[in-house]
């Protein structure tokens, strides 16, 4: 089958304005909780839907995976999947290497966008805003919560740089394991970011491609304007 011919019909519950929270972050947390758990019958349906891929050994998508899009100072975009680690009134939180490609691009241009896609629920959330670093204390606390191997990897990997081979990467990790036999400190080049949203769009797939789309736009007084968009 040609790539352009791959399609499926979206048959799912509707999304109504009356169903939406006044605050988009509250709405996001509600949807995230549903994507992470869902009702008993939804879980059964999802389990049956995933049974065949599971037999084939396919790994399910992480529910907190999101595509982060950034642009460099020349306006050239790049995107990659990262993991959401928190969502509160400040915005959407993730952690990474400040010296990575995305770190350099965010330093050059703090405007960024996020996309969440939960195919089991036929839902998508698109977020746009500006990104800033979290306080070091918050990055430190999260760093300490990670498995030791992951903390060592932060020291071992000069993210986005060219490496000769896997052996060189493993060698560096072993060197860091020997250097830090006990506690693994937070590197100065690693920590958290928070994307402060200026626009959050909720998309619910519907029949005949007449999807439900609602967009929250931040107003000058930090309130949110909610509008339905054409699909």
- Tens of pLDDT, residues 9-42: 666 678 888 999 999 999 999 999 988 875 566 5
SS3 assignment, position 60? coil
HSE, CB side, 13 Å, CA atoms: give it for residue 192: 23
pLDDT for the residue numbered 15 = 85
Q: Which residues, at least 6 apart from 68, have a Cβ–Cβ distance to it below 8 Å?
A: 79, 80, 81, 82, 94, 102, 112, 113, 114
pLDDT for the residue numbered 120 = 86
Question: 111 or 3, which is more confident?
Answer: 111
Residue 68, by phi and psi: left (phi above 0), alpha (psi -120 to 50) or beta?
A: beta
Chosen CATH of 11-39+46-145+188-229 out of 3.40.50.300, 2.30.40.10, 2.40.30.10, 2.30.110.10: 2.30.110.10
State yes or no: pLDDT of 86 exceeds 70: yes
pTM of the entire structure?
Answer: 0.82
pLDDT for the residue numbered 3 = 40
Find out whether 9 and 16 touch, Cβ atoms under 8 Å: no
What confidence tens digit (pLDDT) does each residue in 104-128 have? 999 999 999 999 999 989 999 999 9
For the chain, the maximum distance between any two Cα atoms, rounded to a whole number of angstroms, is 59
State yes or no: pLDDT of 191 exceeds 90: yes
Give the residue extent of every domain in the chain. Answer: 11-39+46-145+188-229
State yes or no: pLDDT of 4 exceeds 50: no
Catalytic residue among 16, 80, 209, 228: 209
Q: Percentage of residues in the chain with pLDDT exceeding 90?
A: 73
- The tokens for 4 are 């352009």
Q: Answer yes or no: 209 catalytic.
A: yes
Helix (H) or strand (E) holding 152: helix 148-156
In angstroms, what CA-CA distances link 7 with 41, 53, 173, 208, 209?
A: 25, 18, 43, 12, 11
Q: Percentage of residues in the chain with pLDDT exceeding 70?
A: 84
pLDDT for the residue numbered 36 = 85
Contacts of 40-49 with C-beta under 8 Å, sequence gap 24+, read 46/120, 49/120
* Other C-beta atoms lying within 10 Å of the C-beta of residue 39: 9
Q: Is the dihedral of CA 137, 28, 98, 179 positive or negative?
A: positive
Could you tell me which residues are beta bridge partners of residue 3? none
Q: Which residues, at least 6 apart from 218, have a Cβ–Cβ distance to it below 8 Å?
A: 197, 198, 199, 224, 225
């Amino acid at each position: 089958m040609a790539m352009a011919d791959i399609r499926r019909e979206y048959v799912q519950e509707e999304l109504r304005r009356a169903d939406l929270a006044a605050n988009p972050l509250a709405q996001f947390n509600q949807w995230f909780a549903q994507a992470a758990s869902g009702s008993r019958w939804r879980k059964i349906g999802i389990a049956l839907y995933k049974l065949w891929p599971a037999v084939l050994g396919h790994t399910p998508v992480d529910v907190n995976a999101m595509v982060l899009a950034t642009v460099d100072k020349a306006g050239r975009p790049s995107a990659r999947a990262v993991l959401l680690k928190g969502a509160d009134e400040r915005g959407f939180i993730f952690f990474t290497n400040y010296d990575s490609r995305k770190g350099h691009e965010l330093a050059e241009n703090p405007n960024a966008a996020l996309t969440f896609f939960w195919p089991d629920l036929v839902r998508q959330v698109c977020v746009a805003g500006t990104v800033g670093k979290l306080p070091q204390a918050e990055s430190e606390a999260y760093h300490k919560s990670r498995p030791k191997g992951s903390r060592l990897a932060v020291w071992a990997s000069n993210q986005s740089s060219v490496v000769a081979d896997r052996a060189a990467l493993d060698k560096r990790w072993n060197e860091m394991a020997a250097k830090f036999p006990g506690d693994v400190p937070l590197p100065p080049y690693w920590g958290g970011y928070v994307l402060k949203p200026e626009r959050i769009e909720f998309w619910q797939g519907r029949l005949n491609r007449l999807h439900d789309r609602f967009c929250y736009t931040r107003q000058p007084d930090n309130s949110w304007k909610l509008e339905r968009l054409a699909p």
